[in-house]
Amino acid sequence: MLSIAVSKGRLLDSFIEILEKSQYPCAVLQEETRKLVVESPQAGLRFILAKPADVPTYVEYGAADLGVVGKDTLAESQKNVAELVDLKYGRCTMIVAVPEALGIKDVAQLDFNSRVASKYPHIATEFFHNRGIQVEVIPLHGSIELGPLIGLSEAIVDITETGRTLVENGLMIIDEIMESTSRLVANRVSLKVKRTEINRLVQAIEGVL
Amino acid sequence: MTMKLQTPRGVKDFLPEETRWKLELENKLRQVFGQWAYEEVVTPTFELYDTLNLGDGTSDEMYRFLGRNGELLALRSEITTQIVRMVATRFQADPKPLRLSYHANVFRHDDVQVGFQREFYQAGVELIGSDTPAADGEAIALAIRSIQAVGVQDFRVDIGQVQYFHGLMSECQCPQISDQVRQALLHQDYVGLKQIIQQADLDRETKNLLLKLPSLRGGDEVLKKAYAATKNKVAQAAVDNIRDIYRLLEAHGVADAVQIDFGMVKSLEYYTGMVMEGYTPNLGFSLGGGGRYNSLSARFGTNIPAVGFALGLERLMLVLERQGLKPAPAKQSYLVLPKNWVKALAYASKQRANGYQVEVDVQGLSFNEGLRYAQAKQIAWIATVGDDEPQIVAVCAENGE
C-alpha cells in the first residue's frame, strides 16, 4: 500500500483522471466526504487530503510515501523530496508584475526602496538576490494583486495562468521566474523501500501522459 | 531581570531517562567499535574556522565566532575533518592503517529540518591509511554490525560509487551541465534531470543511462547491468570496485543487509569512491552514512586515503522508539530509610557494591512517606535500617503492598 498526499480542488480532478487512465481506480476520491484519509484497496493506494503547502512536508517526513504538488509550492517549500514525474497539468507561470502606470519595463529598474508582495517569499527573495537587485519582500497569503493597488508594494511575484487577473488589475508582467506544473514527488526512503510499487505507478502514469 | 526559560531553537535537554538510554546506546556502539580495534579519540568542540572549513561541512552551516585575539573560530559541524587534521599532524610516522572512533556532539546552524537539531550526537569510525576494497568492506560491515548492536530492526545499507557517475559525466564537455546533472541527482529532481540531459552534449547511450541511474539498484545482479550499460573505463572500474567490496561483504556475512545503488550521488568534492547510507522503513531519512574520502588529507598537506561513517544517535533513538524497542525504565534500586545511620550507611555501601542503585533518604521520611516517594520514582525496594536486621519491602506501584 502506497500513501499519497494530495490536495482537494480543481487540480485533484486532473490527477484522478490520470490515475483512472493508468488503471489505478480511485472513485473514493470523488465521493463527498469529510474524511481526511481515504483508501482505494483495488489500486493499493491510500490518499491523504492535505493543504497544498503541507504536501511537501508530509512527504519529507515520510508520513506519505508520495505527494502531488505544484512545482511553485514545491520550490517555495524548500523541502527535501524526490521529484519523480512532471504531470503536465496545472500549468502556470511565476512572474514579476508592476502597475502599468509605473512605466517600468525591467526588474533592474526597481529601485532599492521597492517592495515586492508575494505568496512565494523564498522564491521572490532568491530571484532578486540572484539578480543583485535589492528589494524588500513582503509575504502575503492571498490576493497579491491588491498589493500595488493599495500602495503596499510596487511589484508582485505571483503565479498566473492566462494573465487576465493581472490585466484587470492594471498590472503588467516584466519578468518570468519559472514555469510550474503539478509534480509527483516521493519520500527519499520510500523510494528505496517501496521501489517496485512506486516504479509501477510511475511507469503507468508516464504511459498515459 | 526576568528569567529566560526558553532555549534557542535546535537544542534540547536530555532528561535522566533519555540520558541513560543514550549512554546505553553509546556504550553498545563503543563496545562494537572496540571489538573491531577502533580506538576512541576526543576532538575539540571548536577550532579555527579555516581548519574546519577544509572538510565536508559547508561554511554557511557552521557556527562562527571571534576569539579574543580576533581569530575566526567555529564549532565543529562534523568530526572527520578534525580526525584527518589530527592524523596529519600527530600520526604521520605511525604504522598504517589507523583505526579511530568517536562519540561527539556536533553543531550545524542549518534551518531546523526534519530529524535535524542544531546540536546533535554522532558516533563514527575512520579507517585511515588504506585504499583497498577490504578497508571499504570493513567500514560497511562495521556500520551494519553497529546498527544491529543497538537493536534496530529491518534496516538496509545502500552502497554506491561516486566514480561511476564521475566516469559517465567525464564524457560531457560542459562543466556547467555536468554540475547541473549532479545537483539534480543529488536532490533527486528527476524531472529537472530529464530537462537538463536533453540539452547536454552527450551521446544517446549516456543520456539514457543517466536517466536510468536511479533504477540501477538492487542485489548483485545490478553489477552486471551497471557494467554492461557503459563503455566508460572509469565507470566500469567503479563497478569492479563495488563487486570486490560486495564479495567481501558476503564473506563478512552482512550482504543480506546491503543494497547496491549506482544512482546514489554524494558530494564529489569530498567523496572519492565507495559511498554508503543506512535507512529503515520507519524513518523518512537516513540513519547515517559515509564513504571513502581519499582527497581530504591533501588539504592538510599529506596524502592518506581513508574511509569512514557516522551514525546519528538521535535518529537511532527515534527509530528504536518507533519500532517499540525503547527500553522500559527497569531500575534495580533501593531506598534506604536510616533509623541507625551507621548501620544504614554500611547497608547502602554493601548493596551498591552488589551492583544496585541505592539512595539514602536525607529528608527523615516516615515509612508511608517513603513508600509514596518510592512509588513515584519507580524504586524497587525500601530498606528500613535500624539497630536490627534491615526490613526490606518490595514496592508495588498499584496498592503499595
Domain boundaries, chain A: 2-90+181-208, 92-179
Q: Pick from A33, A37, A2: which is nearest to A19 by CA?
A: A2
- Select from B114, B156, B188 the residue whose CB has the most chain A CBs within 10 Å, as the one to mutate to test that interface: B188
Contact A153, A116 (CB under 8 A): yes
**B66 backbone dihedrals φ, ψ, rounded to 5°:** -100, 135
Q: Which residues of chain A does B214 touch, with a Cβ-Cβ cutoff of 8 Å?
A: 191
Q: Which domains does chain B have, with CATH numbers?
A: 16-322 (3.30.930.10), 333-394 (3.40.50.800)
DSSP per residue, B268-308: TTT--SEEEEEE-TT-SS-SEEEEE-TTGGGGGT----EEE
d(CA B101, CA B122): 10
CB contact under 8 A, B114 and A61: yes
Walk along chain B (401 residues) and give the pLDDT tens digit of each residue.
Answer: 677 788 888 888 999 889 999 999 999 999 999 999 999 999 999 999 999 998 876 667 899 999 999 999 999 999 999 999 999 999 988 999 999 999 999 998 876 555 568 899 999 999 999 999 999 999 999 999 999 999 999 999 999 999 999 898 887 777 788 888 888 888 888 999 888 888 877 788 888 888 888 888 888 899 999 999 999 999 999 999 999 999 999 999 999 999 999 988 877 678 999 999 999 988 888 899 999 999 999 999 999 999 999 999 999 999 999 999 888 766 679 999 999 999 999 999 999 999 899 999 999 999 999 999 999 888 999 999 999 899 999 987 554 44
Least CA distance to B281: which residue of chain A? A193
| B99: its cell numbers | 583505526
Least CA distance to A84: which residue of chain B? B190
- The angle that helices B162-169 and B204-212 make with each other, rounded to 10 degrees, is 150
| B238: its cell numbers | 567503479
Is A108 in a helix, a strand, or coil? helix
- Select from A84, A192, A209 the residue whose CB has the most chain B CBs within 10 Å, as the one to mutate to test that interface: A192
CB contact under 8 A, A81 and B158: no
pLDDT for res A157: 96
Taking CA B167 as the corner, what is the angle to CA B162 and CA B172, rounded to the nearest 5 degrees? Answer: 120
Q: Pick from B139, B128, B118: which is nearest to B41 by CA?
A: B128
Q: Pick from B60, B62, B79, B149: which is nearest to B121 by CA?
A: B79
pLDDT for res B57: 63
Mean pLDDT of A73-82: 92
Which of B111, B191, B214 lies at the smallest CB-CB distance from A86? B191
d(CA A127, CA A129): 5
Q: Pick from B140, B141, B147, B99: which is nearest to B123 by CA?
A: B147
Q: Which CATH number fits domain A92-179: 3.40.190.10, 3.40.50.300, 3.40.50.1000, 3.50.40.10?
A: 3.40.190.10
CB contact under 8 A, B113 and A80: yes
Residues 6+ apart with CB under 8 A from A153: A114, A115, A116, A117, A138, A147
- In DSSP terms, B73 is beta-bridged to B48, B65
Burial of residue B273, with CB atoms counted within 10 A of its CB: 0-12 exposed, 13-18 middle, 19 or more buried = buried
| B316: its cell numbers | 537511532
With cell 532599492, the residue in question is: A112
CB contact under 8 A, B279 and A189: yes
Mean pLDDT of A139-144: 91
Q: Which residues of chain B does A85 touch, with a Cβ-Cβ cutoff of 8 Å?
A: 190-191
Taking CA A126 as the corner, what is the angle to CA B115 and CA B66, rounded to the nearest 5 degrees? Answer: 65
**A6 backbone dihedrals φ, ψ, rounded to 5°:** -130, 160
Least CA distance to B188: which residue of chain A? A82
Do the domains A92-179 and A2-90+181-208 match in fold? yes
Q: In terms of DSSP bridges, do strands A2-6 and A45-49 run parallel, antiparallel, or are they unpaired?
A: parallel
| B68: its cell numbers | 579574543
Instruction: Please give the distance of CA B147 from its chain centroid, rounded to a whole number.
Output: 9
Q: How much of chain B is in helix, strand and coil states, percent to nearest 5?
A: 40, 20, 40
Is B370 in a helix, a strand, or coil? helix
> Measured between alpha carbons, how far is residue A35 from residues A11, A39, A41, A44 in Å?
19, 10, 16, 18
Is pLDDT of A120 > 60?
A: yes
Q: Which CATH number fits domain A2-90+181-208: 2.60.40.1180, 3.40.190.10, 1.20.1250.20, 3.40.50.300?
A: 3.40.190.10
Residues 6+ apart with CB under 8 A from A76: A53, A119, A120, A121, A122, A123
Q: Pick from B106, B111, B110: which is nearest to B81 by CA?
A: B106
Residue percentage of chain A with pLDDT more than 70: 100
Which of A60, A85, A195 lies at the smallest CB-CB distance from B284? A60
**B257 backbone dihedrals φ, ψ, rounded to 5°:** -90, 5
CB < 8 Å from A in window 177-206 of B: 187-192, 194
| A167: its cell numbers | 490585466
Residue B126 is classified by DSSP as E
With cell 494583486, the residue in question is: A145
pLDDT for res B399: 46
d(CA A198, CA B132): 36
